[in-house]
């Protein structure tokens, strides 16, 4: 608990504009409405209603198996790839249901990009990794591609380290660099939302800190939803936090409030380490 308070204070000291009144709720980017989700017979999400504000960081926390990744993946229909899944309810992206039959899933995933826990660069050059998405979307112009690659690597805070070795294999990068490369890859298709599932859990403290700084910078331009097991991390990087338990959303609110004065006893028990 003391650690989390310190994390919140550090975050404020780092220049978060939220100040004492907490972050201002911006325009809603994503909204889940009464979302139920099933893997075959097993229901993994129960009646989730939640907003994700634009250009802010929303953290999803909760014990293992509570549905964080499942919920994250419903936001760009990544669960569609899993056989036998279904949902009821709605997920609205700027007020349009992403599960509508007329939605182009490729276009959706361009707008709502994803970064996974274990970064998995393709066994290709650094350049080709970042250019991958734009090429899939039909971009062929070499100069334009080079510009996008550079811009994405600058945004993911990797450019300085790799600018002279863009033709080298991405597999030769360190774990932390690979994770930033995967963030660059996600940024290259110019998304509006970035979904991150435990993006730093496999990294050392220095690389983790770089990723956290990066998330802080990225929220100026992107809506970010991050799953993390690490409550200190949630407290440090997020504006809003949602606590999930057994497939249900127990509480969602300002990060500072949720970690210092939650409404629900279950949240209190979790953040004070009584379970999970």
The binding site for ligand ATP (CB under 6 A) comprises 39, 42, 44, 62, 64-70, 82, 229
The verdict on 69 binding Mg ion (CB under 5 A) reads: yes
How many Cα atoms occupy the beta-carbon half-sphere of 219 within 13 Å? 26
Nearer to Mg ion by Cβ, of 69 and 76: the residue is: 69
Output the smallest distance, CB 69 to ligand ATP, in A. 3
What are the counts of helices (DSSP H) followed by strands (DSSP E) for the chain?
Answer: 11, 10
Nearer to Mg ion by Cβ, of 69 and 79: the residue is: 69
Please calculate the CA angle 23-116-144 and round it to the nearest 5 degrees.
90
**Residue among 228, 141, 128 nearest 188 (CA):** 128
Taking the C-alpha atoms of residue 232 and residue 7, their distance in angstroms, rounded to an integer, is: 6
Output the smallest distance, CB 215 to ligand ATP, in A. 19
Output the smallest distance, CB 44 to Mg ion, in A. 11
Nearer to ligand ATP by Cβ, of 23 and 62: the residue is: 62
Q: Which helix (H) or strand (E) holds 227?
A: strand 223-227
Mask for 14-53, x = binds Mg ion (CB under 5 A): ----------------------------------------
Nearer to Mg ion by Cβ, of 69 and 125: the residue is: 69
Output the smallest distance, CB 49 to ligand ATP, in A. 18
Could you say which of ligand ATP, Mg ion, none residue 95 binds, taking C-beta under 5 to 8 angstroms by partner kind?
none
Tell me which DSSP letter residue 56 carries. S
CA distances from 78 to 75, 201, 251 (A): 8, 21, 24
**Residue among 181, 85, 81, 79 nearest 130 (CA):** 181
Could you say which of ligand ATP, Mg ion, none residue 67 binds, taking C-beta under 5 to 8 angstroms by partner kind?
ligand ATP
Nearer to Mg ion by Cβ, of 51 and 72: the residue is: 72
């Amino acid at each position: 608990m003391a650690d989390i308070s310190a994390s919140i204070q550090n975050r404020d000291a780092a220049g978060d504009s939220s100040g004492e009144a907490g972050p201002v709720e911006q325009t809603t980017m994503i909204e889940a409405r009464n979302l139920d989700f099933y893997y075959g017979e097993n229901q993994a999400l129960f009646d989730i209603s939640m907003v994700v504000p634009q250009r802010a960081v929303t953290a999803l926390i909760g014990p293992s198996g509570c549905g964080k990744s499942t919920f994250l993946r419903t936001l760009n229909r990544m669960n569609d790839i899993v056989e036998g899944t279904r949902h009821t309810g709605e997920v609205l992206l700027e007020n349009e249901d992403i599960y509508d039959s007329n939605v182009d899933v490729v276009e959706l995933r361009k707008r709502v990009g994803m970064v996974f826990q274990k970064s998995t660069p393709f066994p290709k050059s650094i350049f080709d990794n970042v250019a991958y998405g734009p090429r899939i979307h039909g971009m062929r112009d070499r100069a334009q591609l080079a510009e996008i690659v550079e811009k994405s690597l600058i945004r993911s805070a990797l450019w300085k380290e790799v600018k002279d070795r863009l033709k080298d294999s991405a597999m030769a990068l360190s774990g932390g660099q690979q994770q930033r490369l995967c963030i660059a890859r996600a940024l290259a298709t110019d998304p509006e939302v970035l979904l991150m599932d435990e993006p730093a859990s496999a990294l050392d403290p220095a690389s983790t800190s770089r990723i956290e700084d990066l998330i802080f910078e990225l929220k100026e331009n992107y809506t970010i939803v991050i799953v993390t097991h690490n409550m200190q991390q949630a407290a440090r990087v997020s504006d809003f936090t949602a606590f999930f338990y057994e497939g249900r959303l127990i509480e969602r609110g300002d990060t500072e409030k949720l970690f210092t004065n939650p409404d629900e006893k279950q949240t209190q028990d979790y953040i004070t380490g009584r379970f999970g």
